[in-house]
Amino acid sequence: MLTIEGSASLNLVKEQIDESLSIAESNLEQFVEEPENEARLKAAIEQFALIKGVFKLINLPGSAILSEELELLGHKILAHHDKNNEPELAAISNAIMVLVHYLEYVEVKKQALPVLLIPTINEVRFFLNRPMITESVFFDLGENPPRPSKGAAAAPDMEQLQTSGRRLRHMYQVGLLGILRNESVSANAKMMSRAVSRIDALTGNAPISKLWWLTLAVLEAIGKEAVELNVARKSLLGLVDRQIKNVIHLGESALNKEPPKPTVQECVYIASLAGPVGDHLKEVMDLFKLETGGLTDANLRQEQEILRGPGGTVIRSVAEALTEELNHIKDSLDLGARGASTDDEGFESIAEAMRKVGNTLIMLGLSKAAGLFKEKADIVRNWKAEDVDAESDEFNRVADALLYVENSVATLSPRRGPDSSLYSSKAEEAMSDGISVTQLDDARRVVVGEARAGLSLAKRAITSFMDSNWDGMHLNNVPVTLKSVWGGLLFLQLHRAAAVVEACEAFIENQLIRDRSAPPTTALMETLADAITSVDYFLEGMEDDKPIGEGIMEVAEESMQELGYPVKAA
């Protein structure tokens, strides 16, 4: 479905294209030095026009588009020669470098993936004030069939949509906010999926429901980390939010609109990259007859890494190597303290290993840990096997420093953007308390895991209650289960979540077990499930050390408010 061709023809003209790019780059550099010499820029523009035609001839569409954008940007610089054009010239220079690397990639890999050039194309288009092209621009959608039908009786429930629509949109927006911040992506995607599923159920077989169906596939791909969460995909999720708003405010007129074909193409493209890793994705792939053995998003990211150079995986690899080295140092210190070392150099080799680790820590930006470790390395260097006392204050200070460095290295893998300070503070606390960040996290995850297991049991019991035509026997153990979850949440000092669980327990005890005068409605049970699931998503973020934020608690509290059991925010 993606354009993958042109690699064979490139070999015939590669030498000439390289020469044209070299000429363009040389003229551009001279124009930067001599801005009054417009002939240099015109010469570079001519080369862009020349290779654009060659790329079209040998069917390298991404390269052709980029060359055309460079030609247009060159003409814009000529037309506004009196202005500061340094950013535009830098963009052209960068694009030439990317194009050179891309052509080398095509030549070596024997495949042309024009999608790899989209970020660079959009960078140039930004300076041209032209709209960004989508990542699915090289994707062939083929036919655009309607979504699978839900059944003839699936009519829109406008009354319930008006009642619950704003809350469901809020649930979607809370998850979207976390997605935009790259926080606990899996849990936020699940929360958004739940909101969209509820909206889809209330929408019936209306034409706009196709968008909800495709969105569920996209969220499934994002939640399962089958695709990378980039700017284009975040923008797509924002577009869905606007469509939800239209449905809530405009009613039937919005329901009866088909989703735009470019939006459908974008969703199907993401599904093609994710593969059939979930039920929704399988449905989309079957309907649009997508190839399961094609290019995946993981493959695409690997190719981008080849084109751009090493990324975060390098840091993780270094962290793993440092962990192994620290374990070796710990073992050596232990043996040395017990006089069992076979090292003829005494503690000299241990000190040298500590200094090497310190130098690596500096490269990783952990300067405080590096300085501390080097300081202790100088102390260890002067130790003699017969004089070392494993119970002494000096030896314990070295052990504390080792624990601090170990904690600092452990923060490298989960560190993401602005949250990095959180993990640095953990290492600081561990230094003063003499405990391990890893062990603390493990203990916390045990409690969180038990709480999630309890919520899972409660959800299954509620589902059985609904499926059995409201047989209250299925709910008998739910209050006890939720009470244990409440205790675990209090232990973790998660007071808002604990208050929601307590309200859920009271609702189930009073409304579903004791009072059986009238069976509950499906909408009421779904709202209860929203509250419990919101707490579960919150805990999932904690379990993965990717906090989802307090916004999800607002959704849970709104659900309980709707049920008549308001929760006072902590």
Q: What is the pLDDT of residue 384?
A: 78
Between residues 384 and 483, the one the model is more confident about? 483
In this predicted model, what pLDDT tens digit does every residue of 236-268 receive, in sequence order? 999 999 999 999 988 888 899 999 999 999 999
What confidence tier does 343 reach under pLDDT thresholds 50, 70, 90? low
pLDDT at 40 over 90: yes
In this predicted model, what pLDDT tens digit does every residue of 489-512 receive, in sequence order? 998 889 999 999 999 999 999 999
pLDDT at 404 over 80: yes
Alpha-carbon gap, residue 316 to 438, rounded angstroms: 16
Alpha-carbon gap, residue 229 to 41, rounded angstroms: 38
Mean pLDDT of 230-241: 91
Amino acid sitting at position 301: R
Asked if 486 and 553 count as a contact pair (C-beta separation under 8 A), the reply is no
Alpha-carbon gap, residue 104 to 513, rounded angstroms: 69
Asked if 108 and 100 count as a contact pair (C-beta separation under 8 A), the reply is no
Token pair recorded at residue 249: 């405010």
By CB neighbour count within 10 A (0-12 exposed, 13-18 middle, 19+ buried), where does 13 fall?
A: middle
Nearest Cα to Cα of residue 535 among 492, 497, 490 = 497
Q: Let me know the angle formed at the C-alpha of 347 by 341 and 351, rounded to the nearest 5 degrees.
A: 135
pLDDT at 311 over 50: no
Q: What is the pLDDT of residue 524?
A: 92
Q: What is the pLDDT of residue 541?
A: 80
Between residues 513 and 518, the one the model is more confident about? 513
Token pair recorded at residue 443: 């203990």
Asked if 76 and 126 count as a contact pair (C-beta separation under 8 A), the reply is no
φ and ψ at residue 182, rounded to 5 degrees: 60, 35
What confidence tier does 113 reach under pLDDT thresholds 50, 70, 90? confident
In this predicted model, what pLDDT tens digit does every residue of 61-105 receive, in sequence order? 999 999 999 999 999 999 887 678 889 999 999 999 889 888 877
Alpha-carbon gap, residue 562 to 557, rounded angstroms: 9
Residue 415, number of CB atoms within 10 A of its CB: 17
339 secondary structure, DSSP code: T
Q: What is the pLDDT of residue 209?
A: 93
Asked if 218 and 270 count as a contact pair (C-beta separation under 8 A), the reply is yes
Residue 177, number of CB atoms within 10 A of its CB: 15
Mean pLDDT of 404-425: 55
Between residues 75 and 1, the one the model is more confident about? 75
pLDDT at 309 over 60: no
Token pair recorded at residue 451: 């709480």
Q: C-alpha 136: how far from its chain's center?
A: 19
Q: What is the pLDDT of residue 272?
A: 92
What confidence tier does 561 reach under pLDDT thresholds 50, 70, 90? very high
Over the range 223-236, which residues count as b (16 or more CB within 10 Å of their CB) and which as e?
beebbebeebbeeb
Nearest Cα to Cα of residue 269 among 367, 133, 171 = 133
In DSSP notation, 457-483 reads HHHHHHHHHHHTTS-GGGGTTHHHHHH
Can you say whether residue 376 is alpha, beta or left, with left for phi > 0 and alpha for psi between -120 and 50 degrees? alpha
Between residues 384 and 119, the one the model is more confident about? 119
What confidence tier does 344 reach under pLDDT thresholds 50, 70, 90? low
Q: What is the pLDDT of residue 321?
A: 83
Positive or negative, the CA dihedral 282, 285, 286, 290 is negative
**Residues in the chain, overall count:** 570
Percent over 90 (pLDDT), the chain: 45
Q: Which of 27-41, 129-143, 295-309, 427-441 has the lowest mean pLDDT?
A: 427-441
Percent over 70 (pLDDT), the chain: 87
Between residues 445 and 477, the one the model is more confident about? 477
Token pair recorded at residue 251: 């009613």
Q: What is the pLDDT of residue 306?
A: 65
Element of type H or E holding 286 = helix 279-287
Residue 381, number of CB atoms within 10 A of its CB: 17
- Residue 266 vs residues 31, 143, 196, 258, 269: alpha-carbon distances, Å: 40, 14, 18, 15, 5
- Cα of first residue to Cα of last residue in the chain, in angstroms, is 51
Rg (CA), the chain: 30
Alpha-carbon gap, residue 105 to 116, rounded angstroms: 10
Q: C-alpha 550: how far from its chain's center?
A: 19
Asked if 213 and 285 count as a contact pair (C-beta separation under 8 A), the reply is no
In DSSP notation, 501-565 reads HHHHHHHIIIIIII--SSPPPHHHHHHHHHHHHHHHHHHHHHHTT----THHHHHHHHHHHHHT-
The full 3-state SS of 196-244, as one line of letters, equals: HHHHHHHHCCCCCHHHHHHHHHHHHHHHCCCCCCCHHHHHHHHHHHHHH
Instruction: Please tell me whether residue 145 adopts helix, strand or coil conformation.
Output: coil
What confidence tier does 310 reach under pLDDT thresholds 50, 70, 90? very low
Alpha-carbon gap, residue 500 to 489, rounded angstroms: 10
Q: What is the pLDDT of residue 4?
A: 40
Q: What is the pLDDT of residue 3?
A: 40
183 secondary structure, DSSP code: -
Mean pLDDT of the chain: 84
Q: Which residues neighbour 551 within 8 Å (Cβ) at sequence distance 6 or greater? A: 174, 177, 178
Mean pLDDT of 282-308: 80
Owner of token pair 């993936």: 113
In this predicted model, what pLDDT tens digit does every residue of 422-475 receive, in sequence order? 444 555 555 555 556 666 667 778 889 999 999 999 999 999 999 998 988 999
Q: What is the pLDDT of residue 108?
A: 67
pLDDT at 332 over 90: no
Instruction: Please tell me whether residue 288 adopts helix, strand or coil conformation.
Output: coil
Nearest Cα to Cα of residue 564 among 516, 517, 512 = 512
Alpha-carbon gap, residue 276 to 274, rounded angstroms: 7
Asked if 509 and 479 count as a contact pair (C-beta separation under 8 A), the reply is yes
Q: What is the pLDDT of residue 313?
A: 47
Q: What is the pLDDT of residue 420?
A: 35
